[in-house]
Amino acid sequence: MQEMILCKLGEVVLKGLNRRSFEDKLISNLRRRVSKCGNFRVYSKQSTIYVEPVNDDCDLKAAFQACRQVFGVIAVSRALPCEKDVQAIISAAKKYLDAELSAAKSFKVESKRADKNFPLTSIQLSQQVGGALHQAYPYLAVDVHEPELTVFLEIRDDAAFVHGPAVPGAGGLPLGMGGSAVTLLSGGIDSPVSSWMMAKRGVALEPVHFFSPPYTSQAAKDKVIELAQRLTPWCGRMRLQIVPFTEIQEEIRRACPEDFFTLIMRRFMMRIAEQCAEEAHAKSIVTGECLGQVASQTMEALRCTEDVVSLPVLRPLIGMDKEEIVRISRKIGTFDTSILPYEDCCTVFTPRHPKTKPHLDEVREAESALDVGALCERAMANREFVRIKL
């Protein structure tokens, strides 16, 4: 029997009557992700998804890493199947985990008997296999509380499986089960993290970036495309919309009071994001806003920016501090790209004294000097679309 990958389900198992649709979506997502690593058979049994190589050409290491980044999977193990026989299990454990058993100083065996027709209980199986391994590796101490190595045995319908400790998966819900949303993607640290967090809840994403040449460079645009690319192992294929924003920002500077620049700019972003969402049949807008982080993210300012849209505005970072956001950014692989020193349209024409507690009527009055509809229409007409693939 060939080595394979076992993917354990997370909160999918709690979905009751809807569980099957969640499992089917997760299997579909896993099939698509591992297809680049070779020909794999992906199927579900007993709350576990099996990723089984069909031939010797499969890249099991790459498939294992891909499975770890699929939302809906809580833990991933590489495992060796064998016959449901104690001696076969002992032989498989010695063969498959020889390097780990040789390097460890203490161990224990932990068994799970999903097939209740197997003649031994979980404890009896652990005792027999543990005793045989202790004889084969006499320098190994048995430690049932804090072992250096745990040998896992699973007795399932089709076979017994031997593996070492599982590694954490991405968790969350299968991508696509939470609907779809437009996510505002800048070149900073926060917006890639907020996008990842919503994808973890099963939301398929359509990123939108606002680009302001000549105030922002081609390098700044390339940086955002790279950020979107770094999100694809988690978020899947995406279509990035790049919206020209220079005319809008110059008109705001020409016609509006300086202390309202950022607020009015954000209101335009939200309007355009909602139009992009309507085109893409998305049901919400995602932003990387965090309460109190900058002047445009006070409660009063947030109310002013979302005043212009009817779709729900999702802010997954709203209660987080910067250290938490940076920690996630490093984990998902976007941090090093986010800190590249290229300008962002949000820093163009930054007011010296921005309003932190604006009144909605004041913002509306300041904005009334602009032809809002025409500006949004021209920005939408001149968008660039970039397909981001794995």
Which string of DSSP letters, residue by residue, matches 281-313?
Answer: T---EE----TTSSGGGSHHHHHHHHTT--S-E
pLDDT of residue 348: 67
Residue range 271-289: average pLDDT?
97
Of 62, 106, 66, 60, the residue nearest 80 (C-alpha): 60
Residue range 44-58: average pLDDT?
92
CA distance 31 to 15: 21
Quick: pLDDT tens for 295-353: 888 999 999 999 999 999 999 999 999 999 999 999 999 999 999 987 776 666 777 77
Task: Note the pTM of the prediction, 2 decimals.
Answer: 0.91
Contact 203, 41 (CB under 8 A): no
pLDDT of residue 345: 67
pLDDT at 221 over 80: yes
Of the chain, the percentage scoring pLDDT greater than 90 comes to 87
SS3 content of the chain, % helix, strand, coil (to 5): 45, 20, 35
pLDDT of residue 54: 93
pLDDT at 355 over 90: no
Residue range 9-36: average pLDDT?
92
* Cα distances (Å, whole numbers) of residue 236 to 22, 168, 311, 332, 383: 17, 19, 24, 13, 22
Residue range 74-95: average pLDDT?
96
pLDDT of residue 346: 67
Please name the amino acid found at residue 78.
R
Q: Which domains does the chain have, with CATH numbers?
A: 4-168 (3.30.2130.30), 180-388 (3.40.50.620)
Average confidence score pLDDT of the chain:
94
Q: Which helix or strand (DSSP H or E) is residue 134 part of?
A: helix 122-136
Quick: pLDDT tens for 1-21: 789 999 999 888 888 888 999
Contact 160, 89 (CB under 8 A): yes
Quick: pLDDT tens for 142-151: 999 999 999 9
Residue range 214-222: average pLDDT?
92
The residues, any chain, with a CB within 8 Å of residue 213's CB and separated by 6 or more, are 244, 246
Q: Residue 110: beta bridge partners?
A: 152
* Angular region, 172: left φ>0, alpha ψ -120 to 50, beta rest: left
* Cα distances (Å, whole numbers) of residue 22 to 16, 46, 72: 10, 15, 9
The tokens of 19 are what? 């569980």
Quick: pLDDT tens for 108-149: 999 999 999 999 999 999 999 999 999 999 999 999 999 999
